[in-house]
Structure 1
Amino acid sequence: MIGIDGYCRSLCGTKVQQSMQCATLLIACALFSPISAFGSDFSLSADPPSCSPGQSLRWRGGTLRLENDLFTGSDRNYTNGVALTAVSRDLQGELRPECLPQPIGLYARFIGWADPGFWRDTGDQPASQNLVVRFGQSMYTPEDKTRTDLIADDRPYAGLLYLGLAWNRRIHPQAASYEMLDVRELTLGVIGPWSLAEKSQDLVHRVRGIERFRGWDNQLRNEPAFQMAMERKFKSYTEGAVQPGWDSDVIGSYALRIGNIETAASTGLEWRAGWNIPNDFGSYPIRPGAENRPPSAVADLRTTTPQSALAPKPGAHVFLNLEAKAVAWDFSLDGNLFRHSHHVSRRPWVVQAAIGISSQWIVAGHGVRLAVMRVWRTREFDQQIGRHAFGSIALSIEF
């Protein structure tokens, strides 16, 4: 039987080697190869025996997020981000990687190897867990769009195209008044022209009749992108899909992200107030761990008759999100990791604030949610003139 390493090398020896896909594939294999031995006692067959529907991967919905600083009247720095995510139903019972598609099963084994405590039962009540797949693109530009030369004292032209795979594990400790959401997300992608940031921006500017940026020839060079994100969020425990009636709550979080996309540690708070607040862990701009929902078992109650008191209900709430971050590396400021490139003097501390409104409805038996927010971010590098702001909009649907 061919091993993971040999399989990857065979792919890179064929037509894959003509693109950055080979480098990204090799990174994935480097991550997963230790766990092929670690989890060798598991079967990875396409049709594993005795897998219940609750142990298999089934999708429950998705979210489309768009962020752009044109919403705030500017066109610079973090100028555009788009992400499409798919969210699975909660997996039931003991996690069985052999019951999942092979790449996802391998990732579950990798987490077990790198962070054994993530899957370990520590006496908590049974945890619910689900999977999130995220595909997205981010782009960054300097302020002066007319210059074709390298602008040494402004942010580099940079783009990122990526695919993220996240596990969400929701835990309610016994007899506790709070619950936690633990997230482990692996992101793989590409930085540079192969991110298609220039082509995407030119297309949007052409359609909208906006002058295009002329300095993309100076953008960061092609290189593989990777990041491992670990985050914990916590809030008061609630049963059901919403907190019924008028209410408010506070969600705390702390996170660590490691990789050449970003290496940073952060902590944050979100305050929410409104009518029928969803039993989830808040609304965030595009970042690892941003996609979470009420447990799928209570979300399914929206179609029952008569309606359960725990079922999803229409509602709306306002929210305020504050986050402080210590940054050790940011590709959009520090440039390429594996070669010399344009970079600026990154600031080690960044504070971000977001204010917005979110509402949810039941439409033809499906859950629909819309969240809109405005985000402010302090200066990220010494040469930056003033803080930056952008708008974010997210549309979610429950199948």
Structure 2
Amino acid sequence: MARKTLALLVGGWALVAQAQAQAGDGAVTVTVENDFFTASDNNYTNGIGVAWVSDEITAEEDCFVGRWTQFWSFLPYVADDGYRTYAAWSVVQEMNTPDDITEANPSEDDQPYSGVLYVDSTLYAKQGNWTHAWQLKLGVVGPASGAGDVQREFHKLIGDDKPQGWHTQLPNEPVVNIDYTVAHLAAAGRVGQSAQWRLVPMATAGIGNYFTGVGGGVYAETGWNLLEALGVTALRSGLNTASTVGVKASDNWSVSFYGGVAAYGVVHYLPLDGTLFRHSRSVSSEPLIGMASFGACLRRRGFTLSYSKTFFTDTFETQRQNTNFGTVGVSWMF
């Protein structure tokens, strides 16, 4: 594995270890997204992240996590009476490439090379069948993300084509984004004596130089011993039911399968529309984008393993291939 990827993981583990030491219980998740799982190597090609989600935060907690939550308590639902509040931090690197990575000067009507490295700070507020999430994304796009070095070294390691066009990637620019997501358990029931099902609509909105737009979707999940987990999103935008927010470990096996669809209205999406404050390559995002995800989740005690695939409609007009990727997530509750 490339040195930059190892550095990212070490830095991520250091971040979540410090957070856990401050707040005690919680869950650590490692997530990998890659288009290798869909036999392609274009557009959104890889994402890797390390995340930590706290246990429920009480008003009396005099630690960094508690003080951080109180600082943001002016946000709707956060630390409100009747709501359970949770905090999460994640370190993520994303990588985007054009259709043909062997071209030294990729076509300017194809998705530009870009790497994004960021920290997400998320506050969750849960009450009954509702989950609200406020997310602050801070990071950098450009060579400082290290994505080009990671892909070149990884392709060298596995003997794959050497990407030739990273010198044309988006330039260095800070990334700042604020997002809000809400999920609602709209319906649930049983199938036969043991199987269960649930239906969860979701909505999201974001503003910033990474993503500005809105979205909405719904997923259905069925399985055995379903836990009280409302999925939010994967690293990029795929649906994901393997949430650890407010989830308690169970001694019984929990197995579930799910599928969902969503649509996004896009005003600005950094990997396609380019940087805002410096000249860069770009293509124009489609104003309306559809996606579908399906996958499975396995839980036992503090362990969670999930796998899903996500498929997008064309994200820009001159796109050669669809943006498809797979997501693998491994979580452990402390």
Report the TM-score, using the length of structure 1 for normalisation: 0.72
Note the C-alpha offset of 1:383.
0.5
- 1:314 aligns to what SS in structure 2? strand
Q: Percent identity?
A: 27
Cα distance between partner residues in 1 of 2:160 and 2:70 = 45
Distance 1:312 1:324, change over 3 A: farther
Cα distance between partner residues in 1 of 2:244 and 2:278 = 40
Q: Report whether the alignment pairs 1:397 with 2:332.
A: yes
Cα distance between partner residues in 2 of 1:192 and 1:271 = 37
What stretches of structure 1 of length at least 5 have no aligned partner? 1-55, 173-178, 239-243, 303-310
Give the AA of the match of 2:39: G
- 1:371 aligns to what SS in structure 2? strand
1:140-151 aligned at under 5 Å gives the runs 140-151=96-107
Q: Report whether the alignment pairs 1:371 with 2:306.
A: yes
Cα distance between partner residues in 1 of 2:169 and 2:266 = 22
Give the AA of the match of 2:172: N
Cα distance between partner residues in 2 of 1:245 and 1:87 = 30
Note the C-alpha offset of 1:150.
4.4
- Partner of 1:234 in structure 2? 184
For residue 152 of structure 1, the aligned residue among 97, 108, 130 is: 108
2:181·2:232 contact (CA, 8 Å) conserved in 1?
Answer: no
Cα distance between partner residues in 1 of 2:109 and 2:329 = 33
- Partner of 1:293 in structure 2? 244
Give the AA of the match of 2:37: F
For residue 78 of structure 1, the aligned residue among 18, 28, 44 is: 44
Cα distance between partner residues in 1 of 2:187 and 2:56 = 18
- 2:155 aligns to what SS in structure 1? helix
Give the AA of the match of 1:295: G
1:148-187 aligned at under 5 Å gives the runs 148-172=104-128, 179-187=129-137
Distance 1:294 1:191, change over 3 A: closer
- Partner of 1:255 in structure 2? 204
Cα distance between partner residues in 2 of 1:116 and 1:66 = 31
Higher relative contact order (CA 8 A, sep 6+): 2
User: Which of the pair is proportionally richer in strand?
Assistant: 2
- 1:99 aligns to what SS in structure 2? coil
Cα distance between partner residues in 1 of 2:330 and 2:88 = 16
- Partner of 2:7 in structure 1? none
- Partner of 1:37 in structure 2? none
Q: Report whether the alignment pairs 1:267 with 2:213.
A: no
Cα distance between partner residues in 1 of 2:329 and 2:298 = 11
For residue 136 of structure 1, the aligned residue among 68, 88, 92 is: 92
Cα distance between partner residues in 2 of 1:292 and 1:368 = 12
Alpha-carbon displacement from aligned partner over 1:92-146 (angstroms, at most 9, x marks no partner): 3xx35x72318x735642x334x3554444xxxx221111111110010001112
Cα distance between partner residues in 2 of 1:117 and 1:233 = 13
Note the C-alpha offset of 1:255.
0.9
- Partner of 2:147 in structure 1? 197
- List structure 1 segments (4+ residues) > 4 angstroms apart after TM superposition: 287-291
Note the C-alpha offset of 1:58.
2.2
Alpha-carbon displacement from aligned partner over 1:205-241 (angstroms, at most 9, x marks no partner): 1111111210000000001001111111110599xxx
Note the C-alpha offset of 1:159.
0.6
Cα distance between partner residues in 2 of 1:280 and 1:117 = 18
For residue 99 of structure 1, the aligned residue among 42, 62, 81 is: 62
Cα distance between partner residues in 2 of 1:59 and 1:294 = 12
Give the AA of the match of 1:321: G
2:27·2:244 contact (CA, 8 Å) conserved in 1?
Answer: no
Cα distance between partner residues in 2 of 1:143 and 1:217 = 16
- 1:221 aligns to what SS in structure 2? coil
Note the C-alpha offset of 1:294.
5.7
Note the C-alpha offset of 1:317.
1.1
Distance 1:161 1:246, change over 3 A: same
Distance 1:237 1:58, change over 3 A: farther
For residue 292 of structure 2, the aligned residue among 341, 353, 358 is: 353
Distance 1:272 1:237, change over 3 A: closer
What stretches of structure 2 of length at least 5 have no aligned partner? 1-21
Give the AA of the match of 1:100: C
Note the C-alpha offset of 1:260.
0.6
- Partner of 2:73 in structure 1? 112
Aligned residues: 307
1:81·1:138 contact (CA, 8 Å) conserved in 2?
Answer: yes
1:358·1:369 contact (CA, 8 Å) conserved in 2?
Answer: yes
Note the C-alpha offset of 1:386.
4.1
- 2:225 aligns to what SS in structure 1? strand
Distance 1:280 1:217, change over 3 A: same
- Partner of 1:331 in structure 2? 270
Note the C-alpha offset of 1:284.
3.9
Cα distance between partner residues in 1 of 2:295 and 2:106 = 36
- Partner of 1:68 in structure 2? 34
2:69·2:78 contact (CA, 8 Å) conserved in 1?
Answer: no
Cα distance between partner residues in 1 of 2:262 and 2:51 = 23
Note the C-alpha offset of 1:345.
1.9
